[in-house]
């Protein structure tokens, strides 16, 4: 079992194993299941992510009317020949927004780690499988890398916007995805943990101030930003760039910052973007209707 990122690294080193193997074995021990059972459960999660991705419907609008259709706009722009970001990143961004929109429109998704941040990880994994010609087995292993990172963050800090702000939701999702992507691209365990540390560091202090208290604005689009942050962080780590602050210290910083954040910007809908003139206008219009 592991309590920290340092634990995973140490066990991996001692047992000459990869990051994902340590996470898998801890799950087997914790739930009293075989490796096959655990791998099967994880494969089901990946299949559910792909199913949700394929069922995006750009014509849907959320009940509030604030979300829907932006994934299709990105698809169109990506296909226009003017894509600024390159094929991989363009696709990642579209997928992340689509999943966030599907969630807002009451479609079935996989919380990873939460429903509000459900777009980041699948956007990166599914796009990588498509572009990197990666085996499904490798994708499942990458999910263990991501899940192990998320579990350490959840246990040592938080994955809930109400406790830790958005850094705990999109921030955690981004750190998980960064580690998974570094692994898939051939990074060693050091690259994996540096990717997660760099990703999470860049998300520290992010508020959770959703308009109307709904998982829509700014959550849906922030999935795209969280995914881009994950790709950038993996790229830095794969180049050999190290986080000066250790991953566990970054996670502990997130916990302390979360505690210090005002309640108004922790999922209460009482501060930040939620109390702007633009936000008020949307809800006044709705009440009239």
Partner 1 sequence: MELFDIIGPVMVGPSSSHTAGAARIGFIAGKLLGEKINEAKILLYGSFMDTGKGHGTDKALVAGLLGMTPDDYRLSKSLEMAAEEGMKIEFGEAKLVDAHPNSVQMILTGESGSTIDIVGESIGGGKINIAKIDGIATNFSGEFPTLIVHNLDQPGHVSEVTSMLSHKLVNIATMQLYRDSRGGMAVMVVECDQEIPEDGINWLKKSEGVLKVTYFEGIRG
**What is the contact surface with partner 1 in residues (CB under 8 A)?**
23, 26-27, 30-31, 38, 41-42, 44-45, 48, 62-64, 102-116, 118, 121, 143-144, 146-148, 150-151, 154-155, 159-160, 162, 176, 212-216, 269
- Which of 71, 143, 67 is closest to 112 using CA atoms? 143
Rounded CA-CA distance 143/82 in Å is 32
- Close Cβ partners of 6 (under 8 Å, ≥ 6 residues apart): 246, 247, 248
Rounded CA-CA distance 263/165 in Å is 9
Length of the chain: 289
Closer residue to partner 1, CB minimum distance, 176 or 200: 176
Closer residue to partner 1, CB minimum distance, 173 or 236: 173
As beta bridge partners, residue 266 has: 208
Q: How far is CA 92 from CA 71, 106, 209, 257, in A?
A: 11, 22, 24, 29
Q: Could you tell me if residue 212 is left (phi over 0), alpha (psi between -120 and 50 degrees) or otherwise beta? A: left
Closer residue to partner 1, CB minimum distance, 37 or 76: 37
Q: Could you tell me if residue 56 is left (phi over 0), alpha (psi between -120 and 50 degrees) or otherwise beta? A: beta
Closer residue to partner 1, CB minimum distance, 176 or 231: 176
Closer residue to partner 1, CB minimum distance, 114 or 229: 114
Closer residue to partner 1, CB minimum distance, 107 or 242: 107
- Which of 165, 164, 84, 174 is closest to 120 using CA atoms? 174
Let me know: does 15 contact 22? Beta carbons within 8 Å: yes
User: At its nearest, how many Å lie between partner 1 and the CB of residue 106?
Assistant: 4
User: At its nearest, how many Å lie between partner 1 and the CB of residue 35?
Assistant: 13
Task: Provide φ and ψ at 282, rounded to 5°.
Answer: -60, -45
User: At its nearest, how many Å lie between partner 1 and the CB of residue 242?
Assistant: 25
Closer residue to partner 1, CB minimum distance, 277 or 287: 287
Q: Count the neighbouring beta carbons within 10 Å of the beta carbon of residue 221.
A: 18
């Amino acid at each position: 079992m592991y309590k920290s990122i340092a634990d995973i690294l140490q066990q991996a080193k001692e047992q000459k194993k990869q990051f994902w193997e340590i996470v898998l074995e801890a799950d087997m021990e914790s739930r009293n299941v075989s490796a096959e059972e655990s791998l099967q459960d994880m494969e089901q999660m990946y299949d559910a992510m792909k199913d949700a991705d394929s069922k995006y419907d750009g014509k849907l609008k959320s009940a509030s009317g604030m979300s829907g259709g932006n994934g299709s706009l990105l698809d169109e722009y990506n296909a226009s020949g003017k894509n600024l970001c390159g094929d991989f990143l363009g696709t990642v961004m579209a997928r992340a927004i689509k999943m966030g929109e599907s969630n807002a429109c009451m479609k079935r998704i996989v919380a990873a780690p939460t429903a509000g941040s459900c777009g980041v990880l699948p956007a990166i994994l599914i796009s990588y499988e498509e572009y990197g010609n990666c085996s499904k087995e490798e994708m499942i292993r990458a999910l263990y890398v991501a899940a192990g990172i998320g579990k350490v963050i959840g246990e040592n800090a938080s994955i809930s916007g109400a406790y830790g702000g958005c850094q705990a939701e999109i921030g955690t999702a981004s750190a998980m995805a960064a580690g998974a992507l570094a692994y898939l691209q051939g990074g060693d365990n050091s690259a994996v943990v540096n990717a997660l540390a760099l990703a999470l560091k860049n998300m520290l202090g992010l508020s959770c101030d959703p308009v109307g208290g709904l998982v829509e604005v700014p959550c849906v689009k922030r999935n795209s930003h969280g995914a881009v942050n994950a790709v950038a962080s993996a790229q830095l780590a794969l180049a050999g760039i190290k986080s000066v602050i250790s991953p566990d210290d970054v996670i502990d910083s997130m916990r302390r910052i979360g505690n210090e954040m005002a309640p108004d910007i922790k999922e209460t809908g009482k501060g930040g973007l939620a109390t702007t003139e633009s936000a008020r206008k949307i809800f006044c219009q709705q009440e009239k209707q």
